[in-house]
């Protein structure tokens, strides 16, 4: 697997010229970094030998190019829409050969579909960028940027950046609940597993802080029992599957408590808890209120609720993606992603704790 860093040799004179050229944009720009799984991956897995890929049609059917990009969406995903709201270009995958020069100063997306908090999550997908490897790539990214603009300006860029991290769902659907009597389900009761995950997640967030992150949006898991894949395999009469939803109900409050304690220990509101479970519940429980015709049936798929297997060129495909909350068996449509991002920016304390993204941007504007 190729890394997210490249080796460059700079002459001292050339380095000085580059630092002068890039420094003003560092002062003005706010970089954006993304870590996590398929909900936020924008193409890293295209470069890997893995089955966790979204690089064939009809993925990307509503993306500006109408081509698959590696995003698990019909169009834009959550990081894309955040970048759009910030007035920035979308961050590139860290494995993209285009991530160099000025593009580095925009930030980078390190996410990889299939990964979780735990290293044994997603083993069936083979070659994916597990979370601690993502953090190693973040270190290497900073070394590349320092070669362009110098260590001090790089530290400033990272400290001022917005960070999004999305983990946890795969630790349930692609680990604990993956097969009956999975290794983790034999090792832990569901409540104990949630506590174990949050303890491990804290170590990841602490490492992010050590690497310079100072504004980090941390999302919880959605109501996992309500996605079309779970409705197809675990549902009784179209009702959300009980055990996955119970898992989310246990995990998310523990995550929020951990984030609050972590901020207290640091003495600053570095980590922001995003209650994306509530955002999902809003349009799942009342899809018509958001202009959807269904929150049960995926736009792309096959079998009950279009929730079996993968979204492929041979799958059923809805004609109007704006009428569906879910694009494929696991992932929201672009329209649903926009609803989630709206709550990230403007949601009250039900959705964002201790503050929403608009408040963060206002507070940080003059810093």
Residue 279 a catalytic site member? no
Residue 192 a catalytic site member? no
Q: Which of the residues 37, 80, 269, 328 is marked catalytic? A: 328
User: Can you say how many angstroms the Cα of residue 127 is from the centroid of all Cα atoms in its chain?
Assistant: 18
Q: Which of the residues 37, 38, 73, 315 is marked catalytic? A: 38
Strand order in the sheet with 352-353: 107-109, 32-36, 162-166, 216-219, 271-274, 352-353
Residue 268 a catalytic site member? no
Residue among 154, 268, 252 nearest 216 (CA): 268
Q: Which of the residues 25, 37, 331, 358 is marked catalytic? A: 331
- Catalytic residue set: 38, 328, 331
């Amino acid at each position: 697997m190729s890394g997210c860093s490249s080796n460059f040799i700079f002459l001292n004179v050339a380095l000085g010229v580059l630092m002068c050229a890039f420094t003003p944009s560092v002062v003005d720009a706010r970089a954006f970094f993304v870590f996590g799984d398929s909900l936020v991956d924008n193409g890293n897995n295209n470069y890997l030998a893995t089955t966790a890929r979204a690089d064939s049609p009809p993925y990307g059917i509503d993306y500006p190019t109408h081509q698959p990009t590696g995003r698990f969406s019909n169009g834009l995903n959550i990081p894309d829409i955040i970048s759009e709201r910030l007035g920035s270009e979308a961050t590139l995958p860290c494995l993209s050969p285009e991530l160099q020069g000025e593009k580095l100063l925009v930030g980078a997306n390190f996410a990889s579909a299939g990964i979780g908090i735990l290293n044994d999550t997603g083993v069936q997908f083979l070659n994916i960028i597990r979370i601690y490897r993502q953090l190693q790539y973040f270190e290497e990214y900073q070394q590349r940027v320092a070669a362009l603009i110098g260590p001090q300006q790089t530290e400033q860029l990272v400290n001022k950046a917005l960070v999004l991290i999305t983990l946890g769902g795969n630790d349930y659907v692609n680990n604990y609940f993956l097969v009956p009597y999975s290794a983790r389900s034999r090792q832990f009761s569901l409540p104990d597993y949630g506590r174990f995950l949050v303890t491990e997640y804290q170590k990841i967030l602490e490492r992010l802080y050590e690497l310079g992150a100072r504004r980090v949006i941390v999302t919880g898991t959605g109501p996992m029992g309500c996605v079309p894949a779970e409705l197809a395999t675990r549902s009784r009469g179209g009702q959300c599957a009980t055990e996955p939803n119970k898992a989310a109900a246990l995990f998310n409050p523990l995550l929020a408590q951990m984030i609050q304690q972590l901020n207290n220990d640091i003495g600053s509101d570095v980590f922001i808890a995003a209650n994306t479970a509530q955002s999902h519940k809003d349009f799942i429980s009342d899809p018509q209120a958001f202009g959807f015709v269904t929150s049960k049936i995926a736009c792309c798929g096959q079998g009950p609720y279009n929730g079996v297997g993968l979204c492929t060129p041979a799958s059923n495909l809805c004609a109007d993606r704006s009428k569906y909350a879910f694009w494929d068996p696991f992932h929201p449509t672009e329209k649903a992603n926009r609803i989630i991002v709206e709550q990230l920016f403007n949601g009250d304390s039900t959705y964002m704790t201790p503050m929403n993204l608009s408040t963060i941007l206002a507070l940080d504007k003059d810093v």
